[in-house]
Amino acid sequence: MASEWVIGVIGGSGLYDIDGLEDAEWIPVASPWGQPSDHLRIGRIAGVKFVFLPRHGRGHPLSPSGINARANIDILKRAGCTDIISLSAIGSLREELAPGRFVVVDQFVDRTFAREKSFFGNGMVAHVSVAEPVCPRLSTMLGEAGRRAGVDVHQGGTYLVMEGPQFSTRAESLLYRQWGCDVIGMTAMPEAKLAREAELPYALIGMVTDYDCWRDGEDHVDVDTVIAQLRANGDTAKRLVVEFAQALPPVREASPIDTVLDVALMTAPDKRDPQLMARLDAITARVLSAR
């Protein structure tokens, strides 16, 4: 079914606000999954409603492992988002993906271990496919918007998501290259998996800040290096969002991701945990109302 676009934007390190939003205001939204990273910044760009959330909170108080991704995705769903784009800082595992380049990611390897990774569990079991974890429509539009914004965009790449907060050892960095990974970061998982469970098409464009530590003769990655590159990339990323908004089709055609829960719910109605179902009210509202 065709509808209007409502674009959720999750801003990573260095992106704590978004330019170009008209009639924008910060609005608190509560979640039954706990405390989200921050209030939502809601406004319009080119007539399209945008809902911005700084992933680490304004001023960056949250570490990667401390981000409540379930609450973040839940409040974006409650705010009426139809789609999510993520802007993230990443390290490069490939010579050609130099600092300053942007990468539209299309695959992930999830190596995190200290995070809640699903809205579902005992009392309401569901299994969604994340074989293709990003939305190809959004990813294509993000890449095109980046090029119009003057960004050197690489379309496609595998993102290794590590737990952090420490950066990689050299042995780890070399191993991830052998696995075929292209970039590395600490925040895209479980965010992308949770977006899929929430029936929200998701795409990520990463801003390369460093070469991790695999490269001979390269200084080890440090926060000063990352921050300097983020400052260089920040304004460009904001222009990218404006270009993305201006090029959106006037009507949002339905995506297959909009209905993934139709074939994912496993638990029989009489075996469902009422407390868990109450927390799932926003996530499962469409599929349960249709039954």
Render pLDDT for 72-83 as a digit per residue (tens, 0 to 9). 999 999 999 999
Write out residues in the chain with pLDDT < 50, as ranges.
none
Q: Model's pTM, two decimal places? A: 0.96
For the range 144-149, what are the long-range contacts, defined as Cβ-Cβ under 8 Å and sequence gap of 24 or more?
144/247, 145/240, 145/241, 145/243, 145/244, 145/247, 146/102, 146/104, 146/205, 146/240, 146/243, 148/243, 148/247, 149/236, 149/239, 149/240, 149/242, 149/243
Q: Which of 74, 106, 210, 258 is catalytic?
A: 210
In the prediction, which pLDDT does 219 show?
Answer: 66
* Cα separation, 117 vs 192, whole angstroms: 10
For this structure, is 212 an active site residue?
A: yes
228-267 pLDDT per residue, tens: 777 777 778 888 999 999 999 999 999 999 999 999 999 9
In the prediction, which pLDDT does 10 show?
Answer: 97
99-123 pLDDT per residue, tens: 999 999 999 999 999 999 999 999 9
For this structure, is 152 an active site residue?
A: no
Q: Which of 38, 212, 216, 262 is catalytic?
A: 212
The maximal CA–CA distance of the chain, rounded, in angstroms, is 62
**In the numeric block, which tokens belong to residue 213?**
């530590």
Residue type, 140: T
In the prediction, which pLDDT does 232 show?
Answer: 73
> Span 6-289: which CATH code?
3.40.50.1580
Helix (H) or strand (E) holding 104: strand 102-105
Domain ranges of the chain: 6-289
